[in-house]
Amino acid sequence: MFSTEYETKRVSSRSLSTSKSQKRFKVMELFVFVGVILLVSFLVYKGVTGRIGNEAVLKNSSVSSVVEPNILASEKQATLMLADGSSYTGDVVKGVPHGKGKMKWADGTTYVGDFIDGKMTGTGTYQWKTGQRYTGQVVDGKPHGEGTLYREDGSTYSGQWINGEMM
């Protein structure tokens, strides 16, 4: 009877030892998994800097929901695909639209013109899928200054705009 108890205890301690090792291994797997998730999240949040072959990689884009940057022929040109289905193609500086470019929204509206520090500012043209179009000066994405609105019914308004409103 004594030897049976001893064998039982010995088997139990091996089982416990194996069980503890398995738990440690699972905990280590969990830490590795969480570490990888945190690293990927950090890289997506901060942006990745560097070169892959001859292609530049965008860093810290001001467009907060960039899904996929595609670099075009030069490092100053980029196509940014946004999560809402809209896209930007044109000049970029440090991953931010700056210079000439085209913004296209998922609903079909487009803006072609100047961008400064990620904002539609300068001279440009809005085109809505209804056929209505605005051409002129733009500040922070709104008609501001001299511009012309071409309505879908054929009528036009040319004149001063202030903060998106006809004057």
The answer to which of 75-79, 119-123, 141-145 has the lowest mean pLDDT is 75-79
Higher pLDDT, 85 or 8: 85
Above 90 in pLDDT, residue 132? yes
Sign of CA dihedral 36, 42, 48, 50: negative
pLDDT digits (tens, 9 = 90+) for 93-112: 888 899 999 999 999 999 99
Burial 25-61 (b: 16+ CB within 10 A, else e): eeeeeeeeeeeeeeeeeeeeeeeeeeeeeeebebeeb
- pLDDT for 12 equals 53
Above 60 in pLDDT, residue 122? yes
Above 50 in pLDDT, residue 1? no
Give the start-to-end residue ranges of the domains of the chain.
Answer: 51-166
- pLDDT for 58 equals 32
Which CATH architecture fits 51-166?
Answer: Single Sheet (2.20)
Where does residue 92 rank: exposed (0-12), middle (13-18), buried (19+ CB within 10 A)?
buried
Above 80 in pLDDT, residue 55? no
Q: Give the span between the Cα atoms of 124 and 119, in whole angstroms.
A: 12
Show the tokens assigned to 158: 């040319």
The predicted model gives 128-153 an average pLDDT of: 94
Above 60 in pLDDT, residue 42? no
For residue 4, what pLDDT band results from cuts at 50, 70 and 90?
A: low
- pLDDT for 62 equals 37
